[in-house]
Structure 1
Amino acid sequence: MRKHYLIEVAQNDQLVVFVPPAMLREKELTRLAFGSRSLEVDFIPHPDHDDRISISRKIQQALQFPSFNIPLHVFYDMQTLMIGPLVGIFTAGFTSLPLEPIGDRTQFFSKLLSVNKMVGAIPFVFGEQHIDWDLGTIKGYFYHNSGWESVDIPFPNVIYDRLPNRRSENNPRLIKVRERLQKEYLIPWYNPGFFNKLDIHERLIQDDTVSNFLPETLPFSSFSSIETMLSNHGHVFIKPKNGSLGLGVHQIIYDKHSDDYFCRYQDASGVNRLRKFSSLERLMATVFANQSLENMLVQQGINLLRSESRSIDFRVHTNKDDLGNWHVSAMAAKIAGPGSVTTHTRNGGDIKIMEEIFSTEECILYNERLSNAALLLSDALDQHVEGIIGEIGFDLGIDRKGEVWLFEANSKPGRSIFTHPELKDFDLLTRKLSIAFAVFLTEQSLLHPEGLFK
């Protein structure tokens, strides 16, 4: 287990750092670093403590170290002692409001940053407008003593991507910022990019360890392909390749006894609809009259477990820890709203913990199957997707035979399940792990940079 050290600031101007004596027995140290800043200093054994490091006010100013009284990790790079990590959380959507600097996502970021003492890191939030490229500094937003403050700090050790949507992700200015910080400054950047459903499916279907979790999924090409899937599975889902929050999802059901076609969807006014048609052509021409089908995919329908005649699927979060290992960090069942095509809460869905809807034996069985699937899928995505992944939110289903199915993998998972009072501890765990992974990346950037910057 890694040790944390309290960083004290002494009221003097000497370039002297007092460190636990054991550090100097192990290493010959000549420089102190914080983020992208370093300084040549003298290291002296601390006369009183082996759990803290004491720096002068002059060193603090030179390194632009914000003294928040947070125990931090130390890292060794040749003769340099690094304290941190300094973790930049990159996002967009800043406001001029001092109490809500990131708009309606301010509360999420305040909770995310509040794990700093538990993790032993200094996280801050910033956008592209806060970078001073000439000075090599960032005006970072910190959540400290229950309030927000902005402090000029060096470039961070690692960056956690929390851009809010695909529009900001595809903004040319923000793409340029990411590329520059990664390529010119060699800063590890984790969780870049939103997943494309079809792209993820095509990558995973070739992996024998996880292909059995994947329902048949095809880009929309013709009515005949939908007819074939309906004949094989009874119902299909048509959904946007880059959709989120269950928007734009349609379920098409074929009744072979009456030869009728049904479409379940949410209309533009938010009302759940179920409509009957005499042919697939008429259904498509009516329901999708004003939509482009080129950006849609068709997915096999699964006969899911049900609760009170409502379909159940599961949100399973996985995170990497400070050793770079995957963990299942949260799990919840989501029950579809009455007449809804999805289980999203905005469509009337309910969030339940497993124990609320399953017996003890079923809970043990389903927990094990869902956890095993999520960990296998996390490893597979790690191997087949570019960039550094630190967290994933899976939407999984279990059919009536007990088999697990992957519906979607989310690189920036929503957090609606954590509104359930029994999931508060898991909310905290996912936040802790998402920042703790930065500790691992900081260490890897020093020990094995070739593995991060391929």
Structure 2
Amino acid sequence: MARTKVQVQVHQLKLPQDERTVFLGGAVVKKYRIPTNQPLHLRFGSARAEVQVAAVSRSSSLRLAPSLAAKLGIHNGLQLCLVYRPGTRTLHIGPLIGVMVPRVYRKRPDRLFGSITAFSRELTDACATYGAHVFFMIPEDIHGNANSVAGWTWNGGWVRRTFPVPDVVYNRLTSRKYENMPNVQQFMKDVKSRHGATVFNEKYLNKTEVFDALGQEESLRGLLPESHLLKNYQMLKSMSSRHSVLFLKPITGSLGKGIILLRKDAGGGYSVHYAGVTATRKQSFRSLPDAFKVLSGKLKAQRYQIQQGLQLISVGGRPVDFRALVQRDETGAWSITSIVGRIAGESHFVSNLARGGTLSTVPAALAKSNLGAGMRASVLAKLRRSALAIAQGIESKIDAHFAELGIDLAVDTKGKVWLLEVNSKPSKDDNTPLAASEEERKESKIRPSVKRIVKYCRHAAHL
């Protein structure tokens, strides 16, 4: 798409009748054949105003009066993409991106958004680089039937302003409680239907939903360990008869919280391992019914997915898995941003960083693992193909729009790739592309994953 990045300049014009006139560089006017001194529409997010364009030589900026800027929710100095659509006689500038975040800490302006403050600054920098503008909104400021929304943006410091409904809404609500609030649900519905906004990562995925959906695709079934929503003892008994190791995972869990490993021991008994923050806790039982009696209390409080255990590759006896960050690119297509290896910590059977896991490049993790040398060369390609296929399966089988997914994959000792789970709110700390060199990372403080978010937003907003 033909686009130009312009700097917005807001200043008081000399004559009152000029307030609806916007001044645009002559080269841009000529390039896009923008009519001058004729009524046009200027659009920023959901805000629109009737204007007329005056061409200015030796300028690449877009200048407008303060009253017009205030009406559109624009402030001075923004670097925005500009596209002219002759069919509707509209100058569209943006995209305006609204990010839904859980909360703000007003007493901590240096960490206004808590642990995602650094990511928020990084996203702001990426927007300036690629001609977009971003603001951050919390659930208490979000309402249905809105024509504007209050939010926080960076302008030498975090400031609170009112914006039009954005072109693109990015859901970074990291709690199902916030996401399921009626006002949040109504807001997401309304901005799509009333304003044509794109909302992505609009909901959490649960493990049962993912495995049931992907199981409908014949081409993906080979990636799926046997997995069911655990309903009763009979299902546990049936799965135990087929698999000597089972995982019980909270269907809405994350960061390895609440995962239970059930192992059939050589002597006929069973051991239950609980994933803790600092170490794994173990209980032994003479029989499966005895184990179920203890587990049943947890099953009443939380729904669990029961999943076939796998003989995964390991490093020094510690399991290894892989996190693929899959994002839509500037054309809207799924592509791999990064894949990293995650090696479980000592005394842990899950690899999450929150449970003591460590990151590694894929080649380094494979080289240190017990996977046969002859199988290592093909694993990275298998991981990439599998991650893309899973993202496409999620897109086709689940009724929600996603633009980034954290896909956790495992490799068994025969070199076969398996899906562990899919996360629709991937951490902004786990996804550093370790394959890049130190020099490459020092060169740019904006990670490829953050750049890709902004480029996709431009695509989604047709800018």
With the length of structure 2 as denominator, give the TM-score of the two structures: 0.87
Q: 1:430-445 maps to which residues of 2 (within 5 A)?
A: 430-443=449-462
Task: Name the residue aligned to 2:370.
Answer: none
Task: Name the residue aligned to 2:141.
Answer: 130
Q: For the aligned residues, what is the CA RMSD?
A: 2.8
For residues 7 and 305 of structure 2, the distance between their equivalents in structure 1, rounded to whole angstroms, comes to: 53
For residues 140 and 75 of structure 1, the distance between their equivalents in structure 2, rounded to whole angstroms, comes to: 28
Task: Name the residue aligned to 1:450.
Answer: none
Q: 1:349 aligns with which of 333, 352, 357?
A: 357
Name the SS of the counterpart of 1:210 in structure 2. Answer: helix
For residues 69 and 30 of structure 1, the distance between their equivalents in structure 2, rounded to whole angstroms, comes to: 21
The answer to whether residue 342 in structure 2 is matched with residue 334 in structure 1 is yes
The answer to whether residue 266 in structure 2 is matched with residue 260 in structure 1 is no
Task: Name the residue aligned to 1:16.
Answer: 22
- Is the CA contact 1:352–1:420 (under 8 Å) kept in the aligned structure 2? no
Deviation at 1:386, TM superposition (A): 1.4
Task: Name the residue aligned to 1:374.
Answer: 387
- Give 1:436's aligned amino acid: K
- Give 1:18's aligned amino acid: L
For residues 376 and 34 of structure 2, the distance between their equivalents in structure 1, rounded to whole angstroms, comes to: 49
For residues 250 and 151 of structure 1, the distance between their equivalents in structure 2, rounded to whole angstroms, comes to: 46
- Is the CA contact 2:342–2:357 (under 8 Å) kept in the aligned structure 1? yes
Task: Name the residue aligned to 2:411.
Answer: 398
Deviations 1:376-425 (A, max 9, x none): 11111111111221100001001111111111011111234246876657
For residues 41 and 366 of structure 2, the distance between their equivalents in structure 1, rounded to whole angstroms, comes to: 58
Q: In percent, how many aligned pairs have the same letter?
A: 23
Closer/same/farther in 2, CA of residues 307 and 271 from structure 1, 3 Å limit: closer
Closer/same/farther in 2, CA of residues 427 and 371 from structure 1, 3 Å limit: farther
Q: 2:420 aligns with which of 394, 403, 407?
A: 407
The answer to whether residue 169 in structure 2 is matched with residue 171 in structure 1 is no
Q: 1:32-431 maps to which residues of 2 (within 5 A)?
A: 32-49=42-59, 51-74=60-83, 76=85, 78-97=88-107, 98-130=109-141, 136-145=147-156, 147-255=157-265, 257-266=266-275, 271-292=279-300, 295-359=303-367, 364-418=377-431, 428-431=447-450
Deviation at 1:292, TM superposition (A): 1.5
Name the SS of the counterpart of 1:382 in structure 2. Answer: helix
The size of the alignment, in residue pairs, is 440
Between 246-255 and 107-116, the greater mean CA deviation after superposition: 107-116
Deviations 1:63-105 (A, max 9, x none): 2212234242425261111100011111221232233332343
Closer/same/farther in 2, CA of residues 296 and 10 from structure 1, 3 Å limit: closer
Task: Name the residue aligned to 1:448.
Answer: none
For residues 127 and 301 of structure 1, the distance between their equivalents in structure 2, rounded to whole angstroms, comes to: 40
Between 81-90 and 132-141, the greater mean CA deviation after superposition: 132-141
For residues 10 and 165 of structure 1, the distance between their equivalents in structure 2, rounded to whole angstroms, comes to: 39
Between 173-182 and 294-303, the greater mean CA deviation after superposition: 173-182
- Is the CA contact 1:18–1:55 (under 8 Å) kept in the aligned structure 2? no
- Give 1:17's aligned amino acid: F
- Is the CA contact 1:336–1:344 (under 8 Å) kept in the aligned structure 2? yes
For residues 285 and 426 of structure 1, the distance between their equivalents in structure 2, rounded to whole angstroms, comes to: 52
For residues 374 and 454 of structure 2, the distance between their equivalents in structure 1, rounded to whole angstroms, comes to: 34
Closer/same/farther in 2, CA of residues 61 and 363 from structure 1, 3 Å limit: farther
For residues 397 and 426 of structure 1, the distance between their equivalents in structure 2, rounded to whole angstroms, comes to: 30
Name the SS of the counterpart of 1:200 in structure 2. Answer: helix
- Is the CA contact 1:218–1:298 (under 8 Å) kept in the aligned structure 2? yes
Name the SS of the counterpart of 2:42 in structure 1. Answer: strand
- Is the CA contact 1:32–1:38 (under 8 Å) kept in the aligned structure 2? yes
Deviation at 1:303, TM superposition (A): 0.7
Deviations 1:169-212 (A, max 9, x none): 12223223322333333322111110011011111101122121
The answer to whether residue 7 in structure 2 is matched with residue 7 in structure 1 is yes
**Unmatched 5+ residue regions in structure 1?**
445-454
Name the SS of the counterpart of 1:72 in structure 2. Answer: strand
- Give 1:442's aligned amino acid: A
Name the SS of the counterpart of 1:358 in structure 2. Answer: helix
For residues 71 and 277 of structure 1, the distance between their equivalents in structure 2, rounded to whole angstroms, comes to: 64
- Give 1:103's aligned amino acid: G
**Unmatched 5+ residue regions in structure 2?**
368-372
For residues 160 and 75 of structure 1, the distance between their equivalents in structure 2, rounded to whole angstroms, comes to: 25
With the length of structure 1 as denominator, give the TM-score of the two structures: 0.88
Deviation at 1:298, TM superposition (A): 0.7
